[in-house]
Chain A
Amino acid sequence: MRHVLDSLTIMGVAELVAPYPAIYIPEIDTLVISDLHLGYEGVMAEEAGLMIPKTQFKKEMNALREIEKRIKARRIVLNGDIKHEFSSTSYHESREVSDMLEYLQQEYEEVIIVKGNHDNFIARITSRYRVKLVEEFLDGRYYFVHGHEIPDGFASKGEVVIIGHEHPAIALYDDVGAKEKIPCILYGDMLDGRKIIVLPAFSILAQGSEVNMIPREELLSPILRQYVDVDSLNVTSVGPDVGCVAFPKLGLLRGIR
């Protein structure tokens, strides 16, 4: 079946490291992932009384090792929301973030962390490692921002914009009414002619936006609301348990019952 993909080349500039929610950009020899939400279970346990066992960190680490085996990149960009809690840095987070950075600095020549809205106080941890913590990152025509706000000078930077933040997923219903929520990568043209790639969350626990149900003006990312006609974006499912399947453009997935 031609819709089931083993690999996906995104607009001739990046490759999806299927089935993981990660992309590789050959031109700048860079691997990109986003929205790791480390420490999720610990934060849930301490703050919300949800005593679920910790599984996410191990899974994310395993995925990173698999990815590393397949793609030898010089640099990795973590495109925001490395950790989960907004207001402070919990003990659980700092442990998981430290362990992961320890691993990444061993495997990659350069580790870049683009700050997301959950990444306050993260400098306390990153300062101990050989990583670069930035608000945004520009390399040639590639422009990395987390996507929760529009940075100054956003309109004039880069030709390919890479964001996270939204955790895009699509919701589909079958004949008997069963709902399936599928994490996806979105990509296509922006209204100003640049290209955009919206990465799905690397986190297995963070909830996603059902982008084919939520109206454009209600999306989380102001970049998607103001600079993109989301309905024109391409949609491909991503994730070890769903595989990599190319869907029609987002606009066609709206209103499907």
Chain B
Amino acid sequence: MTQVAAYSFVDKPFSDEESLAALESYVREWFMRTFKELTPPQRYSFKLIADGHNVIITAPTGSGKTLAGFMSILSELFKMGERGQLAESVYCIYVSPLKALDNDVKKNLMQPLTEIREIAAEMGIELPEIKIAVRTGDVAGSEKQRQLKEPPHILITTPESLAILLNAPKFAEKLRTVRWVIVDEIHELAGSKRGAHLSLSLERLREAAEQDFIRIGLGATLHPLEEAARFLVGYDDAGRPRPCKIVDVTWYKPLQLMVTTPVKDIVHASAEEINEALYRLLDKLITKHRTTLIFTNTRSGTERVVYNLKEKWPSKYNDATIGAHHGSLSREIRLDIEDRLKRGELKAVVCSTSLELGIDVGYIDLVVQVGSPKSITRAVQRIGRSGHRFGDTARGVIVAMDRDDLVECAVMLKCALERRLDEIRIPTNCLDVLAQHIVGMALTRKWSVDEAFKLVRRSYNYRYLDRETFISLLKYLAGHYAELEDRSVYGKIWFDEKDMMFGRRGKYTRIIYYLNIGTIPDEVKVDVYLLPDKRYIGSIEEEFLERLRPGDIFVLGGRMYRFRYARSMSCYVEKPPKDSLPTIPAWFSELLPLSFELALEIQDFREEFKAMLRAGKTKKEIVAWLLRRFPIERHTAEAIHNYYREHYRYTGGKLPGRDEILVEITSDLQERRFVVFHALYGRRVNDALSRAAAILASDQIGRNVGVIISDNGFALHIPQDAEVDVEKLLRELASCDLEELLKRNIRRTEMMKRRFRHCAARSFLILRNYKGYKISVSKQQTNAQTLLNVCEEVNPNFPVIVETYREILRDVMDLERAKLVQEWLRTGKVKSTVIATDVPTPLAHNLIVLGDADIVLMEDRKRRLLQLHEAVMRKIRLAARS
């Protein structure tokens, strides 16, 4: 029996005649008067959407994607209007991850909406107005009231606001008529919990709507597309995938790319010299172009760049010519910068990641990325912000800040030019997200467990959820973990286990749902006060505080402070002596991971490089080869060459290439001891391998073990007086049941605490907003460790704990690929070599300076305490002697 594939690629565009024939005459007329021709995505979309297909379209920015999605819908809406079939109700919902994009889309649709009516009037056709409205968290209550009275035909919103709308008692009525849903920037949503959240909203919307609606997904770059299609359309009640047409015109835009470094000699230059040179380089690039967009990856980086450019060249860079844009800035400031950018008034805009997504940024002729963007897809996406006009070339410069960055970016840009993307991974069975929706569903009506379960399983993210887990979640939400008489406080739903029905409960539940919905975690902030007068100076993360020892010097808001002491959620610091240096590195807990695919590409690159060194090729020959192969400059090529040659020479030829893990036992200048694993598999795989290795090492020596993790490898930080049998460790690492080992021991890591707090907030166990008040963390008083302990005591299979494990093992770590590497180690495909060095190798050096990312605690707390006690006594004896 042949089965019709649910997802089919549409390879051939329709002719312009066919496409335009799909539109009503006045719409067609407007389009032809306004544009010279159809853009590539439009040649597919007009007809496909008019014919009623679900469709996913990937195309670069500036390719008329928005109209590609909307044109046929506008046409159909006007036709309905012409026939008097248009009711005061919502027909089309557009969802994007960004409020700014929502505002933009509305603005861009106003023109066709007005002009088409005018053209129709010329043709003697009276068309009613198509109403359009934006509904996001920024929209005032009065506007929402107005929308209820005059419902828009096209509703523009975000995933969070959509989930709230589904529970707005009167407005939800207006959603029954929905016929189209557009999901924009689908590449940004699909791989995250936010996407899982949206997918459930869509199924709930389906339940509320009279009919199956047409789903349209838009995105810039995405791979593999079938996976994105699954996410967009989900399944029907019989478990069959809903059909979807796939249109890929992603690679339409020509790219011009270059990797560079601020200084020629990136190794021997001091941090200051590198920074100075970075600003000079940025100035040069900005001056040579009309409008430059700069990405820095972090908010503090954005602030630093803008501050320094203004400081150094005040006549050139001031408030009139340059601006900062990131999520911590107020909405007014962001909007102002966006508007001036669009109008071409700014020479440069510096942003963290915030302008990555599709708001119209106007004319930009250069994108500069400071530091590695970590993924090919992201690099392409960001660089694609330049050359906004249809047919323009996108120009991008990546400024690598160290030598690993350099190699990574060179290989990344080569992949980008060869049109190879890294894979998207869609999270499944996220229980915290599901918990929010169950509460939302319970608020609307009574449900039988079966029908609710059926609805949930229509989402691709929950396709394989089992019923038992679903019920455990219902029990949790009903507060069954609390005593009967406390359930009015703890329970957010009512759940009858005998009749298998659930529904709403509690007078605050609706407010809890409205005010705590969403998936982006609030980091727990600890307030920092400067002694002696205890002036507030800013905040740090709870986990960062845990790492601070009295006397440690760290940077906050560009200034250095010395840590004195902490008291619950407050941290007290003092000014350090002049010329102090930070003793604890700025610690970014959530750096973007390098993709596995790209990591393997870099392995191949190293392999080729090693072969050339082995063959005795000269510097000149190798540099020439690099320049031929990669979009880099001469001094960049030389830096890469020097880096690898140094390591090669120092280790007597042990540059880890393809399928090689080099293990290096070494100490740094402070005589801290490390076992470094040069394992180039990307951070997500190393997240798993490193924790496993640390657990095994901790068990072997009976001590705590620090873990440093990067994309290029990981290191175990071993107590000075302990001795690890590395060969044994390697054997165990290769042969252990990785999943079991991690599951059993992940409790011993700091990551567990941090992630637990996030999951607890998403599952409504910790409310950020309660009874209408924003709750300060200091009021919640309890640290993540205590919370976790208490929940675990009550029930080790508490859904919030289960979700934390799932998130760590499936989303944070790439367990599947880590197991693959393990298998390669077992079968001998991957070989490991152990060396010992007095001074870390060049490759190890870059890793060690990152500082510990996590600590794996030894299992027995009492023994841990005794060891601490011993250490204390030793230190006191030492101090007494000197």
- Stretch touching chain B among A26-34, A112-120, A175-183: A175-183
From A45, A54, A178, A256, contact of B704 by CB (8 A):
A178
Interface pick from B157-165, B738-746, B778-786: B778-786
User: Number of A residues whose C-beta is below 8 Å from B?
Assistant: 48
Q: A52-B765, A248-B876 are in contact. Are A45 and B490 (CB under 8 A)?
A: yes
Does B549 contact A257, Cβ atoms closer than 8 Å? yes
Q: What's the minimum C-beta distance from A100 to chain B, rounded to whole angstroms?
A: 16
Complex contact B481–A53 (CB within 8 A): yes
Q: Which residue of B lies closest to A59 (CB)?
A: B793
**B799 to A: closest C-beta gap in Å:** 12
In the complex, identify which listed stretch (B260-268, B304-312, B605-613, B858-866) lies at the interface while the others stay far away. Answer: B858-866
A89 to B870, CA, bound (A): 45
Contacting pair B855 A49 (CB below 8 A): no
CB neighbours of A150 from chain B (8 A): none
Does B872 count as interface, using CB distance less than 8 angstroms? yes
A242 and B780 within 8 A (CB): no
Q: For A43, give the chain B residue with the smallest CB separation.
A: B781
Q: In this assembly, does A245 line the interface, its C-beta being within 8 Å of a C-beta of chain B?
A: yes
A1: which of B704, B764, B866 is its contact (CB, 8 Å)? B866
Cross-chain contact A176 with B852 (CB below 8 angstroms): yes
Q: Cβ of A207 < 8 Å from any Cβ of B?
A: yes
The answer, among A55, A172, A177, for a CB contact under 8 Å with B872, is: A172
- Closest chain A CB from B727 CB (angstroms): 22
Complex interface: chain A residues within 8 A of B875 (CB) = 256
With both beta carbons as reference points, the residue of chain A lying nearest to B778 in the complex is identified as: A48
Shortest CB distance A17–B (Å): 18
Known: A205-B782, A210-B566, A242-B865. A49 touches B489 (CB 8 A): no
Instruction: Using A45-B489, A53-B481 as known contacts, say yes or no to A215 and B794 having CB atoms under 8 A apart.
Output: no
**Interface contact B861-A242, CB-CB below 8 Å:** yes
* Contact A48–B779 (Cβ < 8 Å): yes
The answer on a CB contact under 8 Å between A173 and B855 is no
Q: Are B766 and A51 in contact (CB under 8 A)?
A: yes
Tell me whether B762 is interfacial, beta carbon within 8 Å: no
Q: Is B565 in contact with chain A by the CB < 8 A criterion?
A: yes
Tell me whether B775 is interfacial, beta carbon within 8 Å. yes
**Among B547, B549, B871: residue with most chain A CB under 10 A:** B549
Contact A49 B783 (CB under 8 A): no
Q: Is A66 close to B, CB under 8 A?
A: no
In the complex, what residue of chain B is closest to A257 when comparing beta carbons? Answer: B549
Is A253's CB under 8 angstroms from B872's CB? yes
Q: A44-B780, A51-B766, A210-B565 are in contact. Are A176 and B706 (CB under 8 A)?
A: yes
Classify the interface of chain B: helix, strand, loop or mixed.
Answer: mixed
Chain B residues with Cβ under 8 A from A45's Cβ?
486, 489-490
The answer to whether the Cβ of A6 comes within 8 Å of any Cβ in the partner chain is no
CA gap between A253 and B872 in the complex, in Å: 8
How many whole Å from A217's CB to the nearest CB in chain B?
A: 10
Q: Which residue of A lies closest to B868 (CB)?
A: A172
> How far does the alpha carbon of A44 sit from the alpha carbon of B780 in the complex, in Å?
7
* Contact (Cβ within 8 A) A247 B565: no
* Of listed A4, A51, A53, A214, residue having the most chain B CB within 10 A: A51
The answer to whether the Cβ of B869 comes within 8 Å of any Cβ in the partner chain is yes
**Residue numbers in A under 8 Å from B790 (CB-CB):** 41, 52-53, 55, 205
A196, B783: Cα distance in complex, Å:
30
B869 to chain A, nearest CB (A): 5
Q: Is the beta-carbon distance between A177 and B855 smaller than 8 angstroms? A: yes
Taking a contact as CB atoms under 8 Å apart, the answer to whether B782 and A174 are in contact is no
A46–B488 alpha-carbon span in the complex (Å): 10
Chain B count of residues within 8 A CB distance of the other chain: 62
A255, chain B: closest CB distance, angstroms: 7
User: In this assembly, does A61 line the interface, its C-beta being within 8 Å of a C-beta of chain B?
Assistant: no
Q: Which residues of chain A are within 8 angstroms of B771 by Cβ–Cβ distance?
A: 49
> B705–A215 contact, CB under 8 A?
no
Mask of A231-257 contacts with B, CB within 8 angstroms, 1/0 = 000000100011101011000110111
Interface string of B694-736 (1 = CB under 8 A from A): 0000000001111000000000011110000000000000000
- B556 on the A face (CB < 8 A): no
Q: Does A50 contact B (CB under 8 A)?
A: yes
Please give, as numbers and ranges, the residues of chain B lying within 8 Å of A124 by CB-CB distance: none
Closest to A50 in B: B780
Evaluate contact between A205 and B786: CB separation under 8 angstroms. Answer: yes
User: Is A50 a contact of B868 with CB atoms below 8 Å?
Assistant: no
B residues near A242, Cβ cutoff 8 Å: 861-862, 865
The answer to whether B787 and A180 touch across the interface, beta carbons within 8 angstroms, is no
Interchain nearest-CB distance for A123 vs B (Å)? 24
Complex Cα gap A47–B780 (Å)? 9
B788 nearest in chain A by CB position: A52
Residues of A within 8 A of B769 (CB): 49
Q: Residue A248 contacts which of B567, B775, B865, B872 (CB distance < 8 angstroms)?
A: B872
Smallest CB gap from B479: residue in A = A51
- Interface residue ranges of B550-575 to A (CB < 8 Å): 550-551, 564-568, 572
CB of B809 within 8 Å of the partner chain: no
- B718 to chain A: which residues have CB within 8 Å? 176
Cβ of B171 within 8 Å of any chain A Cβ, yes or no, is no
Inter-chain contacts of A180 with B (CB < 8 A): 864-865, 868
Inter-chain CA distance A247–B704, complex, in Å, is 21
A133 to B244, CA, bound (A): 74
Determine whether the beta carbon of B766 is less than 8 Å from that of A243. Answer: no
Cβ 8 A contact of B869, one of A3, A42, A44, A209: A3
Residues in A neighbouring B717, C-beta threshold 8 A: 176-177
Known: A46-B489, A51-B764. A214 touches B565 (CB 8 A): yes
Using Cβ atoms and an 8 Å threshold, which residues of chain B touch A174?
A: 703-704, 719, 864, 867-868, 871
Residues of B within 8 A of A182 (CB): 865, 868
Known: A48-B770, A51-B766, A53-B481. A176 touches B705 (CB 8 A): yes
Contact B786 A92 (CB under 8 A): no
Which B-chain residue is minimally distant from A173 (CB atoms)? Answer: B549
User: Most chain-A Cβ atoms within 10 A of its Cβ — which of B481, B791, B869?
Assistant: B869
Once the chains are docked, how many angstroms separate the CA of A214 from the CA of B570? 12
**Which residue from chain A places its CB closest to the CB of B764 in the assembled complex?**
A51
Closest Cβ neighbor of B698 among chain A residues: A176
- B857 in contact (CB, < 8 A): yes
Residues from chain A with a CB closer than 8 A to the CB of B793 are 55
Judge whether B706 and A207 touch: CB under 8 Å: no
Q: How far is the CA of A172 from the CA of B875 in the complex (A)?
A: 12
Q: For residue B864, which residue of chain A has the nearest CB?
A: A180
Decide: A245 and B865 in contact? CB cutoff 8 A: yes
**B820 CB, nearest partner CB in chain A, Å:** 29
B871 interface neighbour in A175, A177, A214, Cβ under 8 Å: A175
| A contact residues around B780 at 8 Å (CB) | 44, 48-50
- A207-B781 in contact given A42-B486, A49-B770, A52-B765 (Cβ < 8 Å): yes
Interface assignment of A135: CB less than 8 Å from any CB of chain B: no
Q: CB of A213 within 8 A of chain B?
A: yes
| Residues A213 and B861 in contact in the complex (CB < 8 Å), given A48-B781, A176-B705 | no
With a cutoff of 8 Å between Cβ atoms, the chain A residues found around residue B764 in the complex are 51
Residues facing B in A211-238 (CB within 8 A) are 213-215, 218, 237
Would you give the shortest CB distance from A245 to chain B, in whole angstroms? 5
Q: How far is the CA of A3 from the CA of B865 in the complex (A)?
A: 12
Interchain residue pairs A-B with the least CB separation, the first 7 = A49-B767, A49-B770, A176-B706, A175-B719, A213-B565, A53-B794, A178-B704
- Complex A-B: 8 CB contacts under 8 Å: A44-B781, A45-B490, A50-B765, A51-B490, A53-B482, A237-B865, A243-B865, A245-B865
A-to-B contact residues, CB < 8 Å: 1, 3-4, 41-42, 44-55, 92, 172-180, 182, 205, 207, 209-210, 213-215, 218, 237, 241-243, 245, 247-248, 252-253, 255-257
By a beta-carbon cutoff of 8 Å, the part of chain B in contact with chain A is: 481-483, 486, 489-490, 512, 546-547, 549-551, 564-568, 572, 703-706, 717-720, 764-771, 775, 779-783, 786-787, 790-791, 793-794, 852, 855, 857, 861-862, 864-869, 871-873, 875-876
17 extra A-B contacts, CB within 8 A, seeds A41-B790, A218-B567 = A44-B782, A45-B489, A48-B781, A49-B780, A50-B766, A51-B764, A51-B767, A54-B486, A92-B486, A174-B868, A176-B705, A207-B783, A209-B567, A213-B565, A241-B862, A247-B869, A257-B550
